[in-house]
């Protein structure tokens, strides 16, 4: 379905695409972002 884009089909066929199968991928990403933001916050000792 990703590749079926009319006149762009030949271009889209060359674009790598991956499927994320982990059921909590969004939560893992949000947790990693929050951890980075907390670590980079002013006044936080490393």
pLDDT tens readout for residues 2-31: 677 788 888 888 888 888 999 999 999 999
Residue pair 39/46 in contact by the 8 Å Cβ criterion: yes
**pLDDT value at residue 2:** 67
Q: Where are the domains of the chain?
A: 6-39
Q: What are phi and psi of 22, to 5 degrees?
A: -70, 130
Using CA atoms, how far residue 31 sits from 26, 34, 45, 46, in Å, is 9, 5, 19, 18
State the Cα–Cα distance between residues 22 and 17, nearest whole angstrom: 16
**pLDDT value at residue 16:** 87
**pLDDT value at residue 5:** 77
3-state secondary structure of 19: coil
**pLDDT value at residue 11:** 86
State the Cα–Cα distance between residues 44 and 37, nearest whole angstrom: 10
């Amino acid at each position: 379905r990703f590749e079926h884009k009319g006149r762009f089909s030949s271009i889209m066929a060359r674009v790598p695409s991956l499927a994320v199968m982990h059921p909590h991928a969004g939560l893992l990403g949000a947790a990693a972002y929050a951890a980075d933001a907390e670590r980079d916050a002013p006044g936080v000792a490393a």
